[in-house]
């Protein structure tokens, strides 16, 4: 936890004299302002000031706000300065991000910097990072684990105990100095938590975090926690996790629909009940009917058989459950729900007479209740805004591979859900909701995001480009001689040949970004014995270690899929080229995409223009954005998809990419590289 996280009750506020808070943001961001004094080499950027002024106006008016700020604008400071100014006036701001890296940057670097710009702010403005329960050790669960024969026989469990006994233990998984595979067994859990009734309540790591948040003016969370808070408040306005706030800033806001979709849906895995049963089997001294456990395990296995036998990876329930099959599965589901309810009653009965196991058994009984409720919703709930679909994957290695099934109840649209839980609630509180990202707009507007998220029409809007000189710093190369993408060997051979030619020119130093794992593996297999540069393939190492290995190599080529399209910041010559295999359209046959496109068609819309193209535009901007991170960066972005040239929608993609130089023929690419990008004499050049 940062030093500014409150540890005691907040003292009464005193109004800060206005002379201590500059009346105009321009005074903060100006060439002679406190930001310039704090940052060596600082240059005032008109784009950054425009974003900051827009956000502060939205906060003061209690309006929603949409801002897109290109690479190099400094959008983080553009929203932190208004947030700190608001805090000095007694208003609380929640900042929600998608990635852990950005959270850490905010807590350990950016917020302390902005506080240093204002007199009294460091002493008065408190901030903290909030995480979900599962990130914290539960002291009661740690005690309960001593009844688990499986856990107590694990040497790593002893190491966890020693870590937990340290005086400086934070209970935060991020601070555990090793990996403990069974962390979920000892982590804070909504179903097993007894709240204020727990004997560890006053020293609970999770509740200490919540107490810190109550005493904080700026709270950093991730999108998943924020939407979980909205979901809880939907049924009980007083049941939120995050303290009430005046404004929320969503950074990396282009992820909001995906996170909200997952939060407001249900996922039920084939291992969920099995894991629960295994926990009971491992509990020492538990007197329970083992035949009941076996019956439930058999029923759980039978429930998932039709989905495993479907022979597909992703599919709607209706694709395999028709007529007799549907009736049989629903009957089986009902029996399984009844068996779970019976187990729940057994556990509650045993808990009454077993003081040693009472807390844990009551918690597991609540887990049974939640599982039963969600399983029933999956098969029986009527909801015109939801689809039921299954996902089947193979896990394990070699002969131990086995199918795992994940059943989903997914909202087709989250717009209505967010109108109720977010937009109307904040409007009633006269609060502001800020969405910001480097890739939030499509075709120069926010129409796509407004439609997908239900954003009110009166939202304040701001789009600013990058302060970088893309014309001289970067070239967009679309090889005009390539055929349109096609799943045939002849096409792959041509793509590989073009990749080799580009990498020979740039001497490696490239990100190769793919829209599918299959294409990544195919290209890797073609290149691994041909290139004189180190190749790094996603999956061979954890993402962070892979990036460090790439950076250290100085002339490597990193092949990646989704993880590396955004959020990776590599400056300098180590990354001088980004190659994108094709336009990143969503997989058209995935159940969620099918349902959403069908909904648009039924409403008389054009699903391709209204859904597929905007999504792909945003994604393509993310991939393009990996190349130029500073004013000194130079390089080539190569997109191996001639649909940018041949299709009527191609120019729409190019028009809203950063304004780099453009080429479709190779001689121009060579000329650009040798004139503008060759390393200075004497440089290693990678």
What does pLDDT average to in each consecutive run of 10 residues of the chain (686 residues)? 40 39 81 93 93 97 96 95 96 95 94 94 96 95 84 90 94 94 92 90 96 97 97 88 97 97 96 92 82 91 93 92 90 94 92 82 92 96 95 84 94 96 95 96 94 96 95 96 92 95 95 95 93 94 91 94 89 94 92 96 95 96 94 95 96 95 96 73 38
- Which two three-digit tokens encode residue 143? 């005690």
Side by side, which strands form the sheet with 314-316? Answer: 266-269, 402-411, 386-395, 314-316
Distance in angstroms (rounded) separating the CA atoms of residues 367 and 354: 19
Q: For residue 637, which phi and psi values (nearest 5 degrees)?
A: -110, 120
Is residue 532 situated within a structural domain? yes
Residue 427 and residue 346 share a domain: no
- Whether the Cβ atoms of residue 151 and residue 187 lie closer than 8 Å to each other: no
Residue 144 and residue 78 share a domain: no
In 223-270, the DSSP E strands lie at 247-250, 266-269
| Stretch (H or E) spanning 216 | none
Domain of 658 in residue numbering reads as 470-677
Residue 383 and residue 438 share a domain: no
Is residue 592 situated within a structural domain? yes
- Whether the Cβ atoms of residue 591 and residue 123 lie closer than 8 Å to each other: no
- Which two three-digit tokens encode residue 188? 């804070």
Residue 34 and residue 100 share a domain: yes
- Whether the Cβ atoms of residue 475 and residue 639 lie closer than 8 Å to each other: no
Is residue 104 situated within a structural domain? yes
Query: Residue 144's pLDDT is what?
Result: 86
Which residue(s) pair with 409 in the sheet? 266, 388
Residue 254 and residue 293 share a domain: no
Q: For residue 511, which phi and psi values (nearest 5 degrees)?
A: -100, 130
Q: Show the CA angle centred on residue 428, arms to residues 426 and 433, nearest 5°.
A: 20
Residue 595 and residue 514 share a domain: yes
Is residue 524 situated within a structural domain? yes
| Stretch (H or E) spanning 563 | none
| Stretch (H or E) spanning 60 | helix 46-61
Residues in CB range of 543: below 8 A, 6 or more apart:
563, 564
- Whether the Cβ atoms of residue 36 and residue 42 lie closer than 8 Å to each other: yes
Q: Find the CATH number of the domain harbouring 663.
A: 3.40.50.300
Is residue 208 situated within a structural domain? no
Query: Residue 59's pLDDT is what?
Result: 97
Q: Considering its fold, how many domains does the chain have in total?
A: 4
Residue 429 and residue 283 share a domain: no
Q: Is 656 helix (H, G, I), strand (E, B) or coil?
A: coil
- Whether the Cβ atoms of residue 475 and residue 542 lie closer than 8 Å to each other: no
| Residue whose entry in the numeric block shows the structure tokens 């403005």 | 125
Residue 160 and residue 309 share a domain: no
Is residue 487 situated within a structural domain? yes
Query: Residue 678's pLDDT is what?
Result: 55
Residue 431 and residue 405 share a domain: no
Residue 186 and residue 90 share a domain: no
Is residue 210 situated within a structural domain? no
Is residue 493 situated within a structural domain? yes
Q: For residue 399, which phi and psi values (nearest 5 degrees)?
A: -70, -15
Bin 24: left if φ > 0, else alpha if -120 < ψ < 50, else beta.
Answer: beta
| Residue whose entry in the numeric block shows the structure tokens 């809880």 | 232
- For the whole model, what pTM was predicted? 0.91
Q: For residue 418, which phi and psi values (nearest 5 degrees)?
A: -75, -30
- Whether the Cβ atoms of residue 664 and residue 480 lie closer than 8 Å to each other: yes
Residue 422 and residue 520 share a domain: no
Residue 313 and residue 221 share a domain: no
Which residue(s) pair with 557 in the sheet? 510, 535
């Amino acid at each position: 936890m940062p030093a500014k996280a409150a540890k005691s009750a907040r003292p009464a506020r005193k109004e800060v004299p206005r002379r201590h808070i500059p009346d105009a943001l321009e005074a903060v961001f100006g060439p002679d302002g406190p930001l310039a004094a704090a940052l060596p080499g600082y240059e005032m950027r008109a784009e950054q000031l425009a974003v900051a002024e827009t956000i502060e106006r939205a906060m003061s008016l209690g309006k929603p706000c949409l801002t897109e700020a290109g690479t190099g604008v400094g959008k983080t400071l553009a929203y932190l300065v208004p947030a700190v100014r608001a805090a000095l006036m007694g208003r609380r701001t929640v900042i929600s991000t998608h990635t852990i890296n950005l959270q850490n940057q905010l807590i350990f670097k950016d917020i302390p910097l902005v506080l240093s710009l204002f007199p009294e702010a460091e002493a008065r403005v408190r901030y903290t990072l909030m995480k979900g329960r599962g990130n914290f050790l539960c002291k009661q669960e740690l005690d309960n684990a001593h009844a688990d024969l499986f856990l107590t026989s694990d040497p790593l469990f002893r190491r966890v105990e020693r870590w937990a006994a340290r005086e400086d233990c934070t209970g935060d998984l991020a601070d555990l100095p090793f990996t403990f595979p069974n962390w979920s067994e000892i982590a804070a859990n909504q179903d097993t938590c007894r709240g204020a009734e727990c004997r560890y309540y006053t020293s609970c790591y999770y509740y200490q975090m919540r107490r810190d948040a109550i005493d904080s003016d700026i709270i950093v969370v991730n999108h998943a926690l924020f939407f979980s808070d909205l979901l809880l408040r939907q049924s009980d306005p007083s049941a939120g996790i995050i303290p009430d706030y005046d404004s929320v800033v969503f950074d990396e806001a282009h992820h909001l629909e995906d996170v909200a979709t997952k939060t407001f849906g249900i996922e039920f895995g084939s291992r969920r009940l099995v894991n629960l049963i295994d926990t009971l089997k491992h509990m020492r001294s538990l007197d329970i009917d083992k035949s009941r456990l076996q019956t439930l395990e058999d029923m759980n296995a039978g429930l998932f058989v039709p989905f495993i036998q479907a022979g597909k990876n992703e599919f709607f329930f209706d694709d395999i459950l028709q007529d007799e099959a549907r009736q049989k599965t629903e009957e089986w589901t009902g029996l399984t729900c009844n068996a779970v309810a019976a187990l729940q009653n057994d556990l509650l009965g045993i808990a009454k007479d077993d003081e040693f196991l009472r807390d844990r058994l009551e918690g597991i009984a609540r887990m049974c209740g939640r599982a039963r409720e969600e399983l029933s919703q999956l098969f029986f709930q009527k909801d015109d805004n939801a689809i039921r679909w299954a996902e089947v994957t193979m896990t394990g290695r070699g002969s131990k591979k086995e199918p795992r099934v994940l059943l989903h109840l997914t909202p087709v649209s989250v717009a209505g859900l967010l109108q109720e839980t977010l937009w109307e609630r904040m409007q009633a509180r006269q609060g502001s909701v800020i969405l910001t990202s480097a890739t939030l707009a499509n075709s120069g507007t926010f129409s796509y995001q407004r439609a997908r998220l239900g954003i009110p029409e009166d939202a304040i809007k701001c789009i600013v480009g990058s302060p970088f000189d893309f014309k001289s710093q970067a070239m967009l190369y679309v090889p005009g001689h390539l055929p349109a993408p096609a799943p045939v060997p002849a096409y792959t051979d041509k793509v590989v040949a073009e990749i080799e030619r580009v990498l020979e020119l740039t001497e490696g130093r490239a990100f190769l970004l793919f829209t599918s794992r299959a294409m990544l593996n195919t290209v890797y297999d073609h290149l691994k014995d041909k290139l004189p540069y180190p190749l790094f393939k996603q999956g061979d190492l954890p993402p962070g270690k892979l990036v460090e290995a790439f950076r250290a190599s100085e002339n490597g080529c990193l092949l990646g899929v989704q993880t590396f399209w955004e959020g990776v910041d590599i400056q300098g010559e180590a990354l001088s080229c980004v190659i994108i295999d094709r336009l990143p359209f969503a997989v058209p046959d995935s159940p969620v995409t099918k349902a959403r496109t069908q909904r648009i068609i039924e409403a008389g819309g054009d699903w391709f223009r209204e859904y597929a193209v905007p999504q792909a535009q945003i994604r393509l901007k993310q991939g393009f954005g990996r190349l130029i991170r500073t004013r000194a960066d130079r390089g080539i972005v190569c997109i191996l998809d001639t649909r940018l040239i041949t299709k009527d929608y191609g120019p729409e993609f190019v028009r809203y990419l950063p304004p780099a130089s453009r080429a479709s023929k190779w001689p121009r690419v060579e000329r650009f590289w040798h004139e503008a990008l060759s390393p200075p004499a004497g440089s290693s050049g990678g």
